């Protein structure tokens, strides 16, 4: 048996089971398969592995397809994209598995499993009592009945040693003791994953299998089945687990393994998510952290995927997202934040909104930060002097002093033109006349007009809010400074 030759056009697949949402681990497997196909001008196939009907979750197939597209990982063939090797949903391929099963029956490599669950349990227990590993093949029936589809169909394995190469895990070796007779077709007529994926990968001419670590222990059994079917096996690349942020455990739902569509709803960009997910366990050997999709396509290689578990670091995702938001053109960003404006912006013109977006763009870590950063541009905020009390620079100042500063600010701004440049000049002048540090004067003015934790450059902020409203807000601040 030889590996695929390098001249074969690359065909990779993502083969999720529709049992839930798509989380970062699944996306990473899909992404690496997609990158490999794109960088070689090959094909990326989506195959739905829905043979475990008990575990199927309604709506999740559609959800998976939406998620892949939302991240820009278009597939070339799939349940809703015609291709030469369909259907791409395993439940529509039962006849194909039956035909392949028949080949194994005909060659004496599959048999009807005659045992009840209780009988198998008894075998297990006696193996345990004898302190031996339980293997089905130790209990092969001597004269199995012809398979009529009402019992499981089992593979008759041929135990032997295997040495194989995994593009990520390296050269691997196992002995015959790990090879066993596994179920090919269950008594409900559906194939097992173990059988179906091998048939499908062969029929769909898949050249690379990229999948999670949970399958690696079954690999020798798969190799045994490839042999029995006289198939050349694809190239294997096993992805290490993604580890939770803290501790030494696999990332689970509780540690942030959430639906990627939820990340998008929470204001993360597909660019940042793809960048983040690609860098979990892969790097290009340099210090580069920001990778566009195009760069990933160009630079990705399986041999730079790390063997050890990659750590999930949500702070890093947040940072990357901020970086990606900055890189977007204002028009593009404007389109993307359509659903994130605060309610108070409903009556604002697109021009005004765009102006504000331009001011806060650099500060957005997620698109959902928008209301916090910009509400005060659309509505007069309610003064909250506790923010002054909590401000490092301002809390040391007396209220009366601060009120006096605000008073002087009003006087100065009343006479000022209201362009950003003129305001800047007025503010600089004010620094001189008050003899205050910018950290105090400007922080106070900023809070008094925004009552928000951050604002863009003060002169731009004031110019955008407009003179009348700025003066009104400063007055309101003064009025609420010393509660009776
Ligand atoms: N259906 C398997 C899963 O969802 C796919 C594994 C594979 O890629 O072969 O984990």
Q: Mind listing the pLDDT tens digit for each residue in 288-337?
A: 999 999 999 999 999 999 998 888 999 999 999 999 999 999 999 999 99
Which atom of ligand 1 sits closest to the CA of residue 211?
A: 8
Q: What is the pLDDT of residue 21?
A: 87
Q: What is the pLDDT of residue 254?
A: 66
Strands 183-185, 110-112: parallel, antiparallel or unpaired by DSSP?
unpaired
| Distance from Cα 64 to the centre of ligand 1, integer Å | 13
Dmax (CA) for the chain in angstroms is: 104
CA angle (320 as vertex; 316, 324 as ends), nearest 5: 170
| Distance from Cα 73 to the centre of ligand 1, integer Å | 17
| Distance from Cα 467 to the centre of ligand 1, integer Å | 61
Q: What is the pLDDT of residue 20?
A: 87
Is pLDDT above 70 for 140? yes
Give tens-digit pLDDT for 88-105: 999 999 999 999 999 999
Percent of the chain with pLDDT over 70: 97
Is pLDDT above 80 for 7? no
CB 373 within 8 A of CB 452: yes
Is pLDDT above 90 for 8? no
Q: Which residues contact 305 (CB under 8 A, 6 or more apart)?
A: 32, 167, 168, 237, 239, 240, 281, 282
1 pLDDT tier (thresholds 50, 70, 90): very low
Q: Whose CA is nearest to atom 3 of ligand 1?
A: 16
Q: What is the pLDDT of residue 201?
A: 98
Substitution site in 29, 204, 212 for ligand 1 pocket (most atoms within 8 Å of beta carbon):
212
Q: Which residues contact 3 (CB under 8 A, 6 or more apart)?
A: 165, 232, 233, 235
Q: What is the pLDDT of residue 249?
A: 83
Q: What is the pLDDT of residue 336?
A: 98
Q: What is the pLDDT of residue 484?
A: 59
- C-alpha dihedral (396, 402, 403, 405), degrees to nearest 10: 170
Substitution site in 30, 64, 211, 239 for ligand 1 pocket (most atoms within 8 Å of beta carbon):
211
pLDDT averaged over the chain? 94
Q: What is the pLDDT of residue 348?
A: 96
Q: What is the pLDDT of residue 196?
A: 98
453 pLDDT tier (thresholds 50, 70, 90): confident
Cα–Cα distance, 371 to 363 (Å, whole number): 12
| Distance from Cα 23 to the centre of ligand 1, integer Å | 14
Give tens-digit pLDDT for 17-46: 999 888 898 999 999 999 999 999 999 999
| Distance from Cα 58 to the centre of ligand 1, integer Å | 18
Which residues does ligand 1 sit against, CB inside 6 Å?
Answer: 15-17, 49, 193, 197, 211
Which positions are annotated as active-site residues?
253
Burial class (CB in 10 A: 0-12, 13-18, 19+), 206: buried
- Among 454, 469, 227, 453, CA closest to 359: 454
Cα–Cα distance, 72 to 68 (Å, whole number): 6
Q: What is the pLDDT of residue 253?
A: 67
Beta-bridge partners for 171: 165
Is pLDDT above 50 for 15? yes
For residue 304, give both structure tokens.
């730079």
Which atom of ligand 1 sits closest to the CA of residue 214?
A: 10
Which atom of ligand 1 sits closest to the CA of residue 19?
A: 4
CB 254 within 8 A of CB 185: no
- Among 32, 177, 191, CA closest to 104: 191
Q: Taking the alpha carbons of 329, 331, 336, 339 in that order, is the dihedral positive or negative?
A: positive
What average pLDDT does range 162-188 have in this prediction?
97
Give tens-digit pLDDT for 360-416: 999 999 999 999 999 999 999 999 999 999 999 999 999 999 999 999 999 999 999
Containing H/E element for 126? helix 117-129
What average pLDDT does range 256-278 have in this prediction?
93
| Distance from Cα 91 to the centre of ligand 1, integer Å | 15
Report pTM. Answer: 0.91
Strands 235-239, 242-243: parallel, antiparallel or unpaired by DSSP?
unpaired
Which atom of ligand 1 sits closest to the CA of residue 16?
A: 4
Percent of the chain with pLDDT over 90: 89
Distances (CA, A) of 95 to 100, 102, 126: 9, 11, 38
Which atom of ligand 1 sits closest to the CA of residue 29?
A: 8
5 pLDDT tier (thresholds 50, 70, 90): low
Q: What is the rounded end-to-end Cα distance, in angstroms, of the chain? A: 89
Give tens-digit pLDDT for 52-82: 988 999 999 999 999 999 999 999 999 999 9
Substitution site in 29, 30, 197, 233 for ligand 1 pocket (most atoms within 8 Å of beta carbon):
197
Give tens-digit pLDDT for 327-350: 999 999 999 999 999 999 999 999
Q: Whose CA is nearest to atom 10 of ligand 1?
A: 16
């Amino acid at each position: 048996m030889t590996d695929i030759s390098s001249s074969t056009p690359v065909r990779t697949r993502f083969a999720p089971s529709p049992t839930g949402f798509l989380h970062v681990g699944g996306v990473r497997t899909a992404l690496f398969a997609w990158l490999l196909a794109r960088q070689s001008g090959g094909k990326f196939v989506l195959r739905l592995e829905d043979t475990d009907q008990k575990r199927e979750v309604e709506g999740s197939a559609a959800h998976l397809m939406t998620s892949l597209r939302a991240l820009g990982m278009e597939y070339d063939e799939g349940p809703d994209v015609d291709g030469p090797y369909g259907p791409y949903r395993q439940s529509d391929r039962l006849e194909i598995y039956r035909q392949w099963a028949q080949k194994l029956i005909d060659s004496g490599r599959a048999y009807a499993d005659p045992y009840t669950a209780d009988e198998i349990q008894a075998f297990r227990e006696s193996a345990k009592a004898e302190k031996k590993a339980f293997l089905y093949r130790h209990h092969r029936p001597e004269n199995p009945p012809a398979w009529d589809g009402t019992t499981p169909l089992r593979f008759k394995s041929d135990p032997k040693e295997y040495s194989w190469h995994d593009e990520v895990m390296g050269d691997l070796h196992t002995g015959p003791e790990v090879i066993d007779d596994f179920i090919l077709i269950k008594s409900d007529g559906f194939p097992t994953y173990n059988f179906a994926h091998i048939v499908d990968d062969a029929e769909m001419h898949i050249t690379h299998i990229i999948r999670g670590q949970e399958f690696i222990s079954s690999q020798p059994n798969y190799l045994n089945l490839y042999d029995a079917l006289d198939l050349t096996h694809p190239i294997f690349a096993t992805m290490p687990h993604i580890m939770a942020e803290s501790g030494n455990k696999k990332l689970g739902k509780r540690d942030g393994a959430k639906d990627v569509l939820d990340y998008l709803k929470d204001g993360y960009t597909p660019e940042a998510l793809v960048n983040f997910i690609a860098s979990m366990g892969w790097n290009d050997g340099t210090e580069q952290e920001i990778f566009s999709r195009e760069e990933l396509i160009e630079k990705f290689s399986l041999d730079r995927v790390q063997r050890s578990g990659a750590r999930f670091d949500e702070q890093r995702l947040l940072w990357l997202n901020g970086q990606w938001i900055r890189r977007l053109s204002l028009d593009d960003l404007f389109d993307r934040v359509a659903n994130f404006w605060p309610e108070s912006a409903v009556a604002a013109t697109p021009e005004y909104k765009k102006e504000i977006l331009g001011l806060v763009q650099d500060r957005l870590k997620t698109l959902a930060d928008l209301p916090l950063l910009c509400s005060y541009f659309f509505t007069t905020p309610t003064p909250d002097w506790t923010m002054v009390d909590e401000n490092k620079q301002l809390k040391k100042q007396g209220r009366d002093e601060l009120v006096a500063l605000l008073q002087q600010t009003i006087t100065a701004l009343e006479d000022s033109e209201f362009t950003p440049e003129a305001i800047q000049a007025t503010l600089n002048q004010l620094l001189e006349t008050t003899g205050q540090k910018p950290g105090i004067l400007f922080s106070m003015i900023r809070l008094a007009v925004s009552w928000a934790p951050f604002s863009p450059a003060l002169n731009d902020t004031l110019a955008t809010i407009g003179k009348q409203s700025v003066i009104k807000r400063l007055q309101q601040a003064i009025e609420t400074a010393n509660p009776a």
